[in-house]
């Protein structure tokens, strides 16, 4: 070994080769190690997702136009207002005095809580809902520009619409029964008063 002499050219080549060889810390992980790391990361994500799943699928009370329910009410169609009355357990009458000729009427019971009648004709429609109590049963949560509340024949009436002389939604109750009537076209207050008086 003592006879081996390292020339300047040899030393230069050795240093150059050492500089070109990557260190162990700079080496990239092998394909097997990369797959193992990816699998571990996926497993962590799956476990994190499973830990939050019970909060996502736990049943929550259902907000309805007539209050909070823990179950969806059973919807049943009826053939007439009389049949609808029998389903819900309180009297319901056909709509009168609508500003269009009624061609079809659809009767629906939402369990025992809510009766609904939808009338259509001449390209227009009306949706009447009736329930026991004083809650807003319309299911219409539109932020109307105009809202007007007053008393009419023992009922508290609220009219809603987007213009002072054209209301599309009326809510009224007498402290025991609640009504809502939504029209496809707006009416002025005097026309609503007549319509409410006929259908209360």
Q: State pLDDT tens for residues 66-96.
A: 454 445 678 999 999 999 999 999 999 999 9
Q: Is the pLDDT of residue 51 over 60?
A: no
Is residue 59 very low, low, confident or very high in pLDDT (cuts 50, 70, 90)? very low
Is residue 6 very low, low, confident or very high in pLDDT (cuts 50, 70, 90)? low
Burial (CB count <10 Å: 0-12, 13-18, 19+), residue 191: middle
Q: State pLDDT tens for residues 10-49.
A: 777 777 776 665 554 455 556 776 777 777 776 766 666 6
Mark whether 101 and 187 lie in a shared domain: yes
Mark whether 25 and 124 lie in a shared domain: no
Q: What is the mean pLDDT of residues 160-169?
A: 95
Tally of domains within the chain: 2
pLDDT-above-70 percentage for the chain? 70
Burial letters 130-159, b for 16+ CB under 10 A, else e: bbbeebbbbebeeeeeeeeeeeeeebebbb
Q: Across the chain, which distance is largest between two alpha carbons, in Å?
A: 124
- 2 or 54, which is more confident? 2
Q: State pLDDT tens for residues 122-132.
A: 999 999 999 99
Mark whether 129 and 38 lie in a shared domain: no
In a domain, 50, yes or no: yes
Mark whether 83 and 52 lie in a shared domain: no
Cα–Cα distance for residue pair 84/12, rounded to 1 Å:
101
Instruction: List the domain range (segments joined by +) for residue 44.
Output: 8-57
Mark whether 127 and 160 lie in a shared domain: yes
Mark whether 152 and 78 lie in a shared domain: yes
Mark whether 77 and 45 lie in a shared domain: no
In a domain, 191, yes or no: yes
Mark whether 133 and 181 lie in a shared domain: yes
């Amino acid at each position: 070994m003592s006879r081996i002499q390292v020339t300047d050219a040899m030393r230069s080549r050795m240093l150059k080769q050492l500089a070109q060889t990557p260190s162990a810390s700079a080496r990239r992980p092998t394909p097997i190690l990369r797959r193992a790391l990816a699998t571990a990361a996926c497993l962590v994500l799956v476990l994190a997702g499973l830990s939050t799943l019970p909060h996502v699928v736990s049943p929550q009370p259902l907000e309805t136009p007539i209050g909070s329910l823990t179950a969806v009410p059973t919807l049943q169609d009826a053939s007439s207002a009389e049949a609808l009355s029998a389903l819900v357990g309180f009297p319901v009458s056909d709509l009168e005095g609508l500003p269009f000729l009624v061609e079809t009427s659809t009767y629906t019971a939402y369990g025992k809580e809510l009766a609904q009648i939808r009338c259509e004709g001449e390209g227009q429609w009306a949706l009447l809902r009736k329930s026991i109590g004083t809650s807003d049963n319309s299911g219409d949560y539109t932020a109307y520009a105009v809202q007007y509340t007053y008393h009419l024949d023992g009922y508290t009436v609220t009219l809603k619409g987007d213009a002072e002389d054209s209301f599309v939604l009326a809510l009224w109750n007498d402290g025991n029964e609640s009504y809502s009537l939504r029209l496809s076209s707006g009416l002025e207050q005097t026309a609503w008063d007549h319509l409410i008086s006929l259908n209360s």
